Structure 1
Amino acid sequence: MTQQAERQTTTRRTRTRQGPGQGPGPLVPPRPPGGARRWPRSFADRLTAPLPGLRAFARFAREGALRPGPEGLADIRRLPYEPGPLPRVDHRTVAVTWAGHASWVVRIGGLTVLTDPVWSRKILGTPARVTPVGVAWSALPRVDAVVISHNHYDHLDAPTLRRLPRDTPVLVPAGLGRWFTRRRFSRVTELDWWEGAEVDGVRFDFVPAHHWSKRSLLDTCRTLWGGWVMTDAQGQRVYFAGDTGYGHWFERIGDRYPGIDLALLPIGAYDPRWWLSDVHCDPEEAVRAAVDLGARRMAPMHWGTFLLSAEPVLEPLTRVRAAWERTGRPREDLWDLPVGASRVLDRSSAAAG
């Protein structure tokens, strides 16, 4: 970790800086269509570890593996896939449905929210998905908001986003708003870490992650990356981590947003560790992150959809179950859902939490 990771870049709009445990950050007021914030040219000072250099790439060329070998692929037909209807909800109900990878249908505060929506069969530079999308696009209710964690192709998918009405509220990391306004989205909110915005009574706070951004040859770290805390009027909270390695941010997020009812945490794309440990949690680290957050429940994601790294396809699931069992926490609080499955948060147990 570096001191640079703690820096807060100054923007033209003055905002309050808050330390750990001081509660959510300031709400960012709505902006008219076309209204833009001024961001730094680079967010490289937010990195928590250096990006791979030439030596690392040379080592990866010698010994690295991008995909599982034949033995690791043997269980591909056993990947859990159980699509079902979306649960019925009201404005006090929180429900989540895993569409695959980092794409969730989150029902909270009467809203339908999509996280990092990727409904495409294939994304740039990656083999086609090994499990179909768990929710048909035609089965979705009206989408009330979209949150994006960062701009990598497996989290920001242009063909999927083209399906949305252009007045859909979209909440994005600092610097990424222009990508959406160029595509005629009219309700785009860019946030820095620890800032929040509201959509129809649900609060969305953008929080740090151990990751990076890049979409082309010349835009490394030009936009920010992070996760989202969603809080409804009843105080029910869902944390969506996006893409992240393990690190000190989880405790800080838990301090600022106590009582997280459900943490959606990535458990895949972690092998080889020397290459990926700074930016992707392994299953044991994801469970540790849930504990650091103080989250009551954890739902694994970012595995079993796109083959992005070398671990066997079912290994993330078996390892996260074992790691959860070692914590001694109730088995029912690990929501290890098949792609397409849903779970509804019990309000009484959430309140008692």
Structure 2
Amino acid sequence: MSQTIHPESPEATEIPVSPVPKAPSAPIVPPATPRRWPSSFADRLTAPLPDFREVTSVMWHGQLRPDIGDSDQIPVHRVGLPRAAATETVVTWVGHATFVLQIGGLTVLTDPVWSRKIPGVRQRLTPPGVAWSDLPEVDAIVISHNHYDHLDAPTIRRLPKDTAVFVPAKLGGWFRRRGFRDVTELDWWESARLGDVTFDFVPAHHWSRRTLWDTCRTLWGGWVLTSRERRVYFAGDTAYGERFAQIGERYPGIDLALMPVGAYEPRWFMKVSHVDPAQAVQGCLDVGARRMATMHWGTFVLSGEPLLEPVREARAVWESRGLDPADLWDLAVGESRTLP
């Protein structure tokens, strides 16, 4: 079972994450402890919500946009999933915001989406980089927020009901109604532990909505996963803002930041929800990560930029900042890399 952690308890100092610098300690609370959440998290917003015109624009790009050429140039490298040793951290990009993260002896999926199509947009441009049948036993999943391209019901149904699930505040009921038994809901800056890995839920500049009636009823954010050897930051969906620096101050020594680089045009409305490639690089630097892996591009058509532009722009910005090219993991779909 996963264990929830809240700020300021001596017990969290026992979490063995050395030599990774430790985040602020927090007490362990049993996962089954009832939580009281507000009716809305709208007070966490840092920008106005998209209005009807903006939603219509997204739907047009996702379903009717005619110029989606170059999809055949999106790199796909499906060669199977390597198995990590207990002390290794191996990252595999499945597509969009989905990674197989092997860390601290666990196999963790981020925002798992294996479906060919999600509501509101055309079918995926590239296949999942890892076949579902090639997955080892999945120990845990982390969910950043409830948008359909990050929380996919058909994929979730394929998971065993005893899989450990780590979700934002008030999203736990969605999983419990589907029979999941090990569900941990966290607020920003709260933590949980599974095996030798800690799962810290951190802020993002975004929002949540799954229907017309549940806007901001559940929280949104990113995740910091820390093993004895490594610390990985999964940003989920986010615009740019001061919360990156706050994460970096609280979680020093991040080895790798999994950063979204796509779905940023037109900027007049995407800027309040999604970083562009330059902001993704800056966000990686703000959190203090040495390396950045690109995501949130090359899978679903959600916006107006050319399909290959996100990763090309990320490379150009990375180079212009004088950063080591080896530290930019512009992964192909299905490609794996091991933290050295």
| TM-score between the two structures when normalised by the length of structure 2 | 0.91
Query: d(CA) in 2 for partners of 1:282 and 1:92?
Result: 34
2:249 counterpart of 1:255:
yes
CA shift in 2, pair 1:163/1:333, >3 Å: same
Match of 1:290 in 2: 284
CA shift in 2, pair 1:176/1:27, >3 Å: farther
Match of 2:14 in 1: none
- Deviation by residue 1:311-351 (Cα, 9 ceiling, x = unmatched): 110110110100000111110000000000000011xxxxx
Confirm or deny: 8 A CA contact 2:6 2:27 kept in the other structure: no
Match of 1:168 in 2: 163
CA shift in 2, pair 1:59/1:125, >3 Å: closer
Match of 1:301 in 2: 295
Confirm or deny: 8 A CA contact 1:26 1:194 kept in the other structure: no
2:20 counterpart of 1:23:
no
2:104 counterpart of 1:109:
yes
- Deviation by residue 1:94-121 (Cα, 9 ceiling, x = unmatched): 0100000000000000000000000000
CA shift in 2, pair 1:61/1:342, >3 Å: closer
Query: d(CA) in 2 for partners of 1:222 and 1:63?
Result: 22
- Deviation at residue 52 of structure 1 after TM alignment: 2.9
Match of 1:244 in 2: 238
CA shift in 2, pair 1:284/1:27, >3 Å: farther
- Deviation at residue 38 of structure 1 after TM alignment: 1.3
CA shift in 2, pair 1:277/1:138, >3 Å: same
Structure 1: runs of 5 or more not aligned: 1-12, 347-353
2:312 counterpart of 1:327:
no
- Deviation at residue 84 of structure 1 after TM alignment: 1.6
- Deviation at residue 24 of structure 1 after TM alignment: 3.2
Question: Counterparts in 2 of 1:120-269, with a 5 A limit?
Answer: 120-234=115-229, 236-269=230-263
CA shift in 2, pair 1:180/1:58, >3 Å: closer
Structure 2: runs of 5 or more not aligned: 10-20
Confirm or deny: 8 A CA contact 1:65 1:310 kept in the other structure: no
- Deviation at residue 218 of structure 1 after TM alignment: 0.6
Confirm or deny: 8 A CA contact 1:30 1:189 kept in the other structure: no
Question: Counterparts in 2 of 1:87-106, with a 5 A limit?
Answer: 87-106=82-101
CA shift in 2, pair 1:275/1:149, >3 Å: same
Name the SS for the 1:73 alignment partner: coil
Name the SS for the 1:37 alignment partner: coil
- Deviation at residue 58 of structure 1 after TM alignment: 4.3
Confirm or deny: 8 A CA contact 1:191 1:206 kept in the other structure: yes
CA shift in 2, pair 1:181/1:274, >3 Å: same
2:42 counterpart of 1:44:
yes
- Deviation at residue 23 of structure 1 after TM alignment: 3.5
- Deviation at residue 293 of structure 1 after TM alignment: 1.0
Query: d(CA) in 1 for partners of 2:90 and 2:54?
Result: 44
Name the SS for the 2:102 alignment partner: strand
Query: d(CA) in 1 for partners of 2:214 and 2:127?
Result: 31
Query: d(CA) in 1 for partners of 2:293 and 2:335?
Result: 11
- Deviation at residue 126 of structure 1 after TM alignment: 1.1
Match of 2:76 in 1: 81
Confirm or deny: 8 A CA contact 2:22 2:252 kept in the other structure: no
Query: What count of residue pairs does the alignment treat as equivalent?
Result: 324
- Deviation at residue 47 of structure 1 after TM alignment: 0.4
Query: d(CA) in 1 for partners of 2:59 and 2:83?
Result: 46
- Deviation at residue 45 of structure 1 after TM alignment: 0.2
- Deviation at residue 61 of structure 1 after TM alignment: 5.9
Query: d(CA) in 2 for partners of 1:194 and 1:62?
Result: 34
Query: d(CA) in 2 for partners of 1:242 and 1:24?
Result: 22
Confirm or deny: 8 A CA contact 1:27 1:197 kept in the other structure: no
Q: Which moved more, 1:79-88 or 1:129-138?
A: 79-88
Confirm or deny: 8 A CA contact 2:7 2:27 kept in the other structure: no
Query: d(CA) in 2 for partners of 1:155 and 1:295?
Result: 23
C-alpha RMSD over aligned residues = 2.2
Confirm or deny: 8 A CA contact 1:240 1:265 kept in the other structure: yes
Query: d(CA) in 2 for partners of 1:283 and 1:326?
Result: 12
Confirm or deny: 8 A CA contact 2:7 2:24 kept in the other structure: no
Match of 1:3 in 2: none
Query: d(CA) in 2 for partners of 1:27 and 1:223?
Result: 24
Confirm or deny: 8 A CA contact 1:25 1:196 kept in the other structure: no
Query: d(CA) in 2 for partners of 1:47 and 1:255?
Result: 21
- Deviation at residue 64 of structure 1 after TM alignment: 9.4
